[in-house]
Amino acid sequence: MKNNKSLKRNLIEWGVILGVAAFLYLTGLYTEVIGGVQRIVLSTGLLKPDILSKDEQFDADYNFILESFDNREFYFGELRGKTVFLNLWASWCPPCRAEMPTIQDLYNEVKKDTNVVFILISLDDDTSKAKQFVKDKNFNLPFYFLVGGLPSTYSTNTIPTTFVISPEGKIISKESGMAKYDSDNFRDFLVKSTNN
């Protein structure tokens, strides 16, 4: 009799867990929930962006075109001579959602520096979903879509992926996966890279 009660209780518990998981998945809320958990992990400061040593740095490729969220085309090559924070993301990606507030905070700190440029490229197939995500979260970062392909220099199997390009055209930071960008150390690195 005790075993039957225990079995019933286990079945009910698993039914509730599976029901909640199915609800989150079917409503699309799972990305928000997972992103929230990942934001907590980021707040610890353990996931820092990787800054490349001189030996690890490699040449950036400026040969591609972007389109802003308000449908204006932009040639990436116009950014030669600037420090560029380039982030590849998608609205359906929980780690992208988790790190985006840290990028927004970093942007707010350095946006007055005209030598530092932020480019956030949405890899969403459905552009309306990316635009809606940005609108819902009130982000005011410079968001773009690709026009054509992205050069192989930036190929990655992971999103988010973030590159920092120096004014000399070298990739001086590459982070595959989420990271916390609104730290004093990373902000100083970004600003100092404009003066090297």
The pLDDT tens digits of the residues spanning 72-97 come to: 999 999 999 999 999 999 999 888 99
Q: Please state the domain count of the chain.
A: 1
Q: In angstroms, what CA-CA distances link 185 with 90, 123, 178?
A: 26, 28, 17
Per residue in 135-152, pLDDT (tens digit) is 999 999 999 999 988 999
Q: What is the mean pLDDT of residues 128-138?
A: 94
Over pLDDT 70: what percentage of the chain?
Answer: 75
Of the candidates 151, 147, 142, 187, which has an alpha carbon nearest to the alpha carbon of residue 59? Answer: 151
The Cα–Cα gap between 113 and 79 comes to 14
Q: What per-residue confidence (pLDDT) applies to 42?
A: 57
108: containing domain: 1-196
Residue 33: band (very low, low, confident or very high) from pLDDT cuts 50, 70, 90: low
The Cα–Cα gap between 14 and 83 comes to 51
- DSSP conformational letter for 159: S
CATH of residue 153's domain is 3.40.30.10
Residue 27: band (very low, low, confident or very high) from pLDDT cuts 50, 70, 90: low
Q: What per-residue confidence (pLDDT) applies to 7?
A: 61
